Amino acid sequence: MTLMADPTPEGRFGDFGGRFVPETLVPACIELEAAFREAWADTVFRATLDELLRDYAGRPSILTECHNLGADLGIRLLLKREDLNHTGSHKINNVLGQALLAKHMGKKRIIAETGAGQHGVASATAAALMGLECKVYMGAVDVERQALNVFRMKLLGAEVEAVESGSRTLKDAVNEAMRDWVGSVESTHYCLGSVMGPHPYPWMVRQFHRVIGEEANRQCREMLGADPDVVVACVGGGSNAIGIFSGFVDTKARIVGVEPAGGAAVARGVPGVVHGMKSYLMQDEYGQVLEAHSISAGLDYPGIGPEHSHLASIGRVEYPNVTDAEVIDAFQTLSRREGIIPALEPAHGLAWILREAGNMQGQTVLLNLSGRGDKDVGQMMDILG
Ligand SMILES: *Cc1c(COP(=O)(O)O)cnc(C)c1O
């Protein structure tokens, strides 16, 4: 028995998940689920994906022990180096899987939503590699804020559409991508960027990221001869977190998913339905979805993947949150003490470790370093001067 079992046929993880989509999208979700189920069981598909992960993305990613910071804190600190993957984060695992599946299904085109642009860039990368057309939906506000990533996507041959509806940010881009998919499902695969949305996405995206946890479990056994005491990851939608957690939910490790204080779906949210799934969600007293606010655009999401809601509700995983100030401190600390500039997202995980180290003396703590900080140095230069 594993705590990370497949969802029910309705796509439920306990009380959460499901497939809350308009009638017009149900056949597309069912077709995708069947295609994924078949591909995932197909040894040729899996071998092709493993080869791409190795020869294109650069897997396996290494495990690095932070000797300086570990000594400062009185813990043993290990980093799973997803920052060293091609394109600089864990996102490549998911987009290679989905783009390969799209080809497998005979689709000619993929669409994607993006907030900060990272998932858009990853999708455009996989599309370029596999000769697929690519259109990325991005809120008009984000298009302006993330000019460099917009240019990257165009360089990679993708079309970027600025979404002018609603608050002109990520959740509006998701709605627009879903609208495109309704009208184009014959030719198009919707490449969703995290463990969210309607079934089968939370399950499928988790399976594509399981490689993180499988590698990390093996690497810990080699390095420590044991499992770590604590496993930590940041949580936006929750894909890098579910990837590393999958390697440890069935061990005795304490497992911690760290959210931004301004987007604390578990601590501040209530169960609700958004973007095709039932999950914890920050909403006002009238059930309107609240805007999330975080220093890190990649964690600016008011919800969380349904499997995380399930893991929270059964008490297997803790979901604390950290402030922007703590994140800025963690970002500088890892840079100075270890010579590794982290992305602001995993700096949330480190911020929690810095806060809690006093209560974890002598323990081994594994942090999923989901991405590198190159994309964030401009913003940090403005903040730190
Ligand atoms: C996109 C992103 C995240 C947030 O997404 P999850 O689905 O929660 O993993 C975290 N870290 C990095 C580096 C990212 O680019």
- Residue at 294 is within a domain: yes
Residue 290 reports pLDDT greater than 90 = no
If phi > 0 it is left, if psi is from -120 to 50 it is alpha, else beta; for residue 203 that is alpha
Catalytic site residues? 66, 90
**Given ligand 1 and candidates 79, 86, 118, which is best to mutate, with the most ligand atoms within 8 Å of its CB?**
118
* Gap between the Cα atoms of 115 and 172, Å rounded: 10
Identify whether the C-beta of residue 281 lies closer than 8 Å to the C-beta of residue 289.
yes
- Residue 303 has a pLDDT of 85
- Residue at 1 is within a domain: no
Residue found under tokens 């599309």: 127
Cβ(239) – ligand 1 distance below 6 Å: yes
**Given ligand 1 and candidates 61, 90, 367, which is best to mutate, with the most ligand atoms within 8 Å of its CB?**
90
Which residue has a Cα nearest atom 1 of ligand 1? 298
Q: Domain range for residue 76?
A: 58-89+210-384
Cβ(238) – ligand 1 distance below 6 Å: yes
- Residue 289 has a pLDDT of 81
- Together in a domain, 261 and 358: yes
Residue 285 reports pLDDT greater than 90 = no
- Residue 298 has a pLDDT of 77
Which residue has a Cα nearest atom 14 of ligand 1? 298
- Residue 260 has a pLDDT of 95
pTM of the predicted structure, to 2 decimals: 0.97
- Together in a domain, 226 and 302: yes
**pLDDT (tens digit per residue) in 44-81:** 999 999 999 999 999 999 999 999 999 999 999 999 99
Domain termination site, one of 201, 221, 254 = 201
- Residue 366 has a pLDDT of 99
**Given ligand 1 and candidates 201, 240, 307, which is best to mutate, with the most ligand atoms within 8 Å of its CB?**
240
Mean residue pLDDT across the chain: 95
Instruction: Please give the tally of structural domains in the chain.
Output: 2
- Residue at 2 is within a domain: no
- Residue at 379 is within a domain: yes
Residue 284 reports pLDDT greater than 90 = no
Domain termination site, one of 201, 226, 254 = 201
**pLDDT (tens digit per residue) in 298-349:** 787 778 999 999 999 999 999 999 999 999 999 999 999 999 999 999 999 9
* b/e sequence 276-315, b meaning 16+ C-beta within 10 Å: bbbbbbbbeeeeebeebebbbbbbbbbbbbbbbbbbbbee
What spacing in Å lies between the alpha carbon of 206 and ligand 1's midpoint? 13
- Residue at 360 is within a domain: yes
- Together in a domain, 373 and 243: yes
- Residue at 3 is within a domain: no
Atom from ligand 1 closest to the CA of residue 240: 9
- Together in a domain, 95 and 81: no
Q: What is the CATH number of the domain that holds 317?
A: 3.40.50.1100
- Together in a domain, 115 and 66: no
* Gap between the Cα atoms of 171 and 165, Å rounded: 10
**pLDDT (tens digit per residue) in 187-237:** 999 999 999 999 999 999 999 999 999 999 999 999 999 999 999 999 999
- Residue 42 has a pLDDT of 98
